[in-house]
C-alpha cells in the first residue's frame, strides 16, 4: 500500500489534489482512499489531505502518520511547527515541495535525508491558469511520482474538476496545467517498505468541549499572535501617488489589518495580512498591487 500526504493552505487545492490522485489510482484498477483534515476551516489556514492506494482492499482508516511520500504545496509550512509536513516520513520516502528553491537547498536548510523534488507550481499556475490554484498541478505531480498513467490522470481531472469548475475554458486550462506538471517530473521508482500492511490501531479520543480540547481558540485576543502573514502568496503594496485616501481598503480588509499613517495613507500590518487581495480588488483607483512572495516575514 502507498500512503501519501498532502500539506497546503485552505484554498490552494491540497484536498482536491488528493482526490485527483485517488481517483486516478481507482481508474487504473487500484483501491483508493482520499480525505482531508482541517483545523480552522478558513482560507489560508494549514490543512492536510491523505491518499491511500493499494492493490488489495484497504482496511486501514484514519490519518496517515507515516507516509511514503509528502506533497508540500506551500513552502512556508516547512517552518510551521503546527503543520510539521515532514513528520513521520519513511526512510525511502519522497518529498515534493512547491518552491522556486532547489532540492539541494531545501535538503540543506531542513536537514532532509530523503529524496526531494521541487517545482514552482505556483508560478506555473499563475502563468497557465492566471490564479494560484494548485489542485490539478499537484495532482499531476503526485500521479507521476506514484507512477500512475497519463490517461488515468486525464480521466480523473475530468471527473473531479468538472464537478466544481463550470467554465469549460478554465477546465481545459487545468487539464493542460496538470499534464504540463506530470511531464515536468521525471519518472521515479517509489519504493514501498515491506511489512507495513498492518493497519494502525484505531484510537478513540473521548469527547471534550472545544473549551477544553482547544483552549487557545478561546484565549482573548489571540488572533494577532497567530501571525497569519505567513499565509500569503501575494502581498499588497500601496502606491501613494495614486491613493485618494478614500479608506475603502481599510473597511474592506476582512482581517482589519489596514491602519492609517500620520499622513493619512493606509498601510497594512504584514505580520497579519494573509494576502487575500480583497484590498487590491476593492481599491477604486487601483492604488494597491499584489506582489508575489514566498516568505512573508
- State the minimum distance, in angstroms, from the CB of residue 4 to ligand SF4: 32
**Looking at beta carbons only, is 150 or 255 nearer to ligand SF4?**
255
- State the minimum distance, in angstroms, from the CB of residue 256 to ligand SF4: 8
**Which three-class secondary structure state does DSSP give residue 118?**
strand
**Looking at beta carbons only, is 171 or 248 nearer to ligand SF4?**
248
Contact between residue 44 and residue 228 where contact means Cβ atoms under 8 Å apart: yes
Contact partners, residue 256, CB within 8 Å, separation at least 6:
none
Beta bridge partners of 69: 4, 94
Note the residues at the interface with ligand SF4 (CB under 6 A).
Answer: 236, 238, 243-249, 253, 255, 257-258, 266, 268, 273-279, 283, 285, 287-288
- State the minimum distance, in angstroms, from the CB of residue 224 to ligand SF4: 13
Contact between residue 294 and residue 105 where contact means Cβ atoms under 8 Å apart: no
The runs of H, that is alpha helices, within 111-236 are: 121-128, 135-145, 150-162, 168-184, 210-213, 215-218, 223-226
**Looking at beta carbons only, is 94 or 283 nearer to ligand SF4?**
283
What is the rounded CA–CA span in Å between residue 241 and residue 136? 39
Contact partners, residue 94, CB within 8 Å, separation at least 6:
68, 69, 70, 114, 115, 116, 117, 145, 188, 190
- State the minimum distance, in angstroms, from the CB of residue 286 to ligand SF4: 8
- State the minimum distance, in angstroms, from the CB of residue 259 to ligand SF4: 10
**Looking at beta carbons only, is 92 or 245 nearer to ligand SF4?**
245
Strand order in the sheet with 31-38: 31-38, 46-54, 2-9, 69-72, 94-98, 115-119
Grid cell locating 113: 535525508
**Looking at beta carbons only, is 109 or 244 nearer to ligand SF4?**
244
**Looking at beta carbons only, is 103 or 277 nearer to ligand SF4?**
277
What is the rounded CA–CA span in Å between residue 91 and residue 104? 18
- State the minimum distance, in angstroms, from the CB of residue 263 to ligand SF4: 12
**Looking at beta carbons only, is 155 or 227 nearer to ligand SF4?**
227
- State the minimum distance, in angstroms, from the CB of residue 279 to ligand SF4: 3
**Looking at beta carbons only, is 44 or 139 nearer to ligand SF4?**
44
- State the minimum distance, in angstroms, from the CB of residue 128 to ligand SF4: 23
CA atoms within 13 A on the CB side of 80: 23
Which segments of the chain are extended strands (E)? 2-9, 31-38, 46-54, 69-72, 94-98, 115-119, 234-238, 258-260, 266-268, 288-292
Amino acid at each position: 500500500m502507498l500512503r501519501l500526504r498532502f500539506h497546503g493552505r485552505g484554498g490552494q487545492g491540497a484536498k482536491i489534489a488528493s482526490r485527483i490522485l485517488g481517483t486516478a489510482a481507482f481508474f487504473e484498477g487500484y483501491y483508493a482512499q482520499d480525505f482531508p483534515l482541517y483545523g480552522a476551516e478558513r482560507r489560508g489556514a494549514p490543512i492536510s489531505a491523505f491518499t491511500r492506494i493499494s492493490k488489495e482492499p484497504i482496511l486501514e482508516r484514519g490519518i496517515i502518520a507515516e507516509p511514503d511520500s509528502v506533497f508540500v504545496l506551500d513552502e512556508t509550512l516547512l517552518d510551521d511547527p503546527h503543520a510539521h509536513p515532514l513528520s513521520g516520513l519513511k526512510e525511502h520516502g519522497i518529498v515534493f515541495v512547491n518552491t522556486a528553491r532547489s532540492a539541494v537547498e531545501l535538503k540543506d536548510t531542513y536537514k532532509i535525508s530523503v529524496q526531494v523534488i521541487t517545482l514552482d507550481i505556483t508560478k506555473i499556475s499563475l502563468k497557465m491558469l492566471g490564479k494560484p490554484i494548485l489542485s490539478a498541478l499537484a495532482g499531476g505531480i503526485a500521479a507521476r511520482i506514484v507512477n500512475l498513467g497519463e490517461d488515468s490522470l486525464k480521466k480523473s481531472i475530468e471527473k473531479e474538476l468538472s464537478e466544481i469548475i463550470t467554465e469549460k475554458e478554465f477546465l481545459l486550462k487545468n487539464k493542460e496545467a496538470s499534464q504540463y506538471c506530470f511531464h515536468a517530473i521525471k519518472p521515479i521508482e517509489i519504493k514501498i517498505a515491506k511489512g507495513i500492511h498492518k493497519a494502525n490501531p484505531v484510537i478513540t479520543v473521548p469527547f471534550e468541549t472545544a473549551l477544553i480540547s482547544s483552549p487557545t481558540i478561546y484565549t482573548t485576543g489571540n488572533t494577532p499572535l497567530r501571525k497569519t502573514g505567513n499565509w500569503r502568496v501575494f502581498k499588497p503594496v500601496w502606491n501613494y501617488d495614486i491613493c485618494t485616501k478614500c479608506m475603502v481598503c481599510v473597511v474592506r480588509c476582512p482581517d482589519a489589518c489596514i491602519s492609517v499613517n500620520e499622513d493619512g495613507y493606509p498601510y497594512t500590518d504584514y505580520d497579519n495580512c494573509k494576502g487575500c487581495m480583497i484590498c487590491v480588488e476593492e481599491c477604486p483607483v487601483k492604488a494597491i498591487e499584489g506582489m508575489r512572495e514566498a516568505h512573508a516575514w
